[in-house]
Chains A and B, each alone.
Chain A
Amino acid sequence: MTARPSADDGLSPAQLAAKHGLTVSGARPGLIEYVRQLWGRRHFILAFSQAKLTAQYSKAKLGQLWQVVTPLLNALVYFLIFGLILEANRGMSTDVYIPFLVTGVFVFTFTQSSVMAGVRSISGNLGLVRALHFPRASLPVSFALQQLQQLLFSMVVLLIIVVGFGSYPQLSWLLVLPALVLQFVFNAGLALIMARLGSKTPDLAQLMPFIMRTWMYASGVMFSIPLMLEDKPAWIADVLQWNPAAIYMDLIRFALIDGYGSSNLPDHVWAFAIGWAVLFGICGFVYFWKAEERYGRG
């Protein structure tokens, strides 16, 4: 039974495989083929992200209402601490500061939770990785997409708050869309990078909250960077304002809030927004793809 037919006798396994057109199992596809496979799985990516989103609150009595209540409570807590107790508004009027703060919290949370979910996207789903075939990038991208949908719920709350504080719908609100698309690409790229790092070093999941909190305080989520650093050298404020989290926050604030004019934005703000998205999107994707065949090892 195990005796080979004479034609194949004496061939090494590799030669035999080549003769019959067999390919190495689990080999990494080329980059373009990989993009094609990932596109082929777009329905899975979307369905998986929606499933995760729904599953989050399925046991709660209020159910999916928490999608909106959670960001609202978050905004309230930050308002209590930074608005009322610490008075971090630094001369901004309440009509500007509250939408400013809430936008900052929501937009930064989008990046923060994408990173946190990204770190665990491979290491926390090893069972899935070891059971089924799909381009592994589906997982981090799917988690970033879940956070985008979460943000859209938050945006509903945000728009109500913005209107409540006297900024009414206008054409500039449409700028939110390109800003969010760019931020999503940036977040997905970052999640891909974190996914690969986290698959090798799960300890990162313990470390990331501290890094993210530092990043949050450095990005001016609850205060205006130029106002806060008025008496410091200008380059410090510039550098902080050019960091991707601050860029996307500022763009969305500028789009939504009447009293937050272009004077608050750093120079070349759109160029930076596009640059960060392209840089992280492409680098993150390639970096993740490079280890594609090894994620099953854990």
Chain B
Amino acid sequence: MADNNTERVPTVIADDVHIVYRVRGAGGGKGSATAALSRIVRRKKGEQRGVRTVHAVRGVSFTAYRGEAIGLIGTNGSGKSTLLRAIAGLLPTERGKVYTDGQPSLLGVNAALMGDLTGERNVILGGLAMGMSREQIRDRYESIVDFSGINEKGDFITLPMRTYSSGMGARLRFSIAAAKDHDVLMIDEALATGDRKFQIRSEQRIRELRKQAGTVFLVSHSLGSIRDTCDRVLWLEKGELLMDGPTAEVLKAYEKETGK
């Protein structure tokens, strides 16, 4: 916990952040060609053709300080993951600004990996995609593979990733993602997948990463893990910041609201 007597150093400042998604091909009504044509003809002023907007985050402001572990809670579709992407600078804000110290990163590398490639090549590709150097990857290659436990049941790392079971794939993805150190780390829910043994191992690894990182954001639906790891919680609902405070206080209100 940060001490109020010493000066606290902000690492992330969100100033009235709004994020709007534009969804194509959801212009309302039927998806037939004639419907699309009539939409183009009868569109309202200022509205783009066939595009619907989703206002996912509405005016969120907060300041996060060094050493804090902040949990994000809220029902499905409340804008938690979207807010994380905006903090990471991956999604542009519609209005408002996010200021950060250094480069916050999302824990996750799934999008860079290719099922048609061997696990081996995916470790290298994923590492490079996260911005690691070739030397760093070479140094950590063994530990990544060992951590994933992919080779425990035979030489699977030289097989294409599409041949892995979903649990094995998830384990390798987590192992690659968790191989890098981060200043401001953001962890989205459901990362610790795989069997019980691997879950314990990955939770341990997340704790290590948290120690190295200056500030941690954790999105989760598991109130237990939020209670364990976070000292402050932001409660988002329909894109608005409903509550921001110490974990116990916010979770109590959240549990009352969701009827647990």
Contact = CB atoms under 8 A, between A and B. Distances in A.
A296 B116 contact: no
B215 to A, nearest CB: 12
A146 B114 CA distance: 15
A65 B98 CA distance: 50
A103 to B, nearest CB: 31
A168 B11 CA distance: 66
Contacts of A128: 111-112, 129
Nearest to A48: B125
A47 B128 contact: yes
Given A26-B98, A133-B90, A127 B245 contact: no
A43 B91 CA distance: 25
B244 interface: yes
A20 B111 contact: no
Contacts of B133: 43
A129 interface: yes
Given A14-B15, A26-B98, A133 B131 contact: yes
Contacts of B90: 26, 129-133, 296
Contacts of A171: none
B128 A24 contact: no
Contacts, number: 150
A17 B160 CA distance: 46
B101 A132 contact: no
Interface in A10-40: 12-14, 16-17, 20-27
Contact of A133 (B101, B103, B117, B160): B103
Contacts of A227: none
Interface stretch (A50-58, A106-114, A154-162, A181-189): A50-58
Contact of B105 (A130, A133, A294): A133
Contacts of B131: 41, 44, 132-134
Contacts of A293: 89, 92
A22 B101 contact: yes
Q: Which of A14, A44, A59, A129 has the most CB of B within 10 A?
A: A44
Interface residues of A, number: 46
B8 A5 contact: yes
A87 to B, nearest CB: 41
A131 B111 contact: yes
A3 interface: yes
Interface string B62-106: 110000000000000000000001111111100001111101111
A1 B128 contact: no
Interface residues of B, number: 56
A202 B92 CA distance: 19
A7 interface: yes
A14 B13 CA distance: 9
A55 to B, nearest CB: 4
Given A20-B101, A130-B91, A5 B4 contact: yes
Contacts of B105: 132-133
Contact of A1 (B11, B98, B117, B232): B232
Contacts of A13: 13-15, 61, 63, 97, 99
B109 interface: yes
Interface string A170-207: 00000000000000000000000000000000100000
Given A24-B98, A26-B98, A43-B134, A131 B86 contact: no
A130 to B, nearest CB: 5
Nearest to B103: A133
A14 B97 contact: yes
B10 A27 contact: no
Nearest to B121: A51
22 contacts: A2-B62, A4-B8, A8-B7, A12-B15, A14-B99, A17-B15, A17-B99, A21-B101, A22-B12, A27-B89, A41-B131, A43-B133, A47-B124, A48-B112, A48-B129, A58-B116, A131-B108, A131-B111, A132-B105, A132-B130, A132-B131, A133-B90
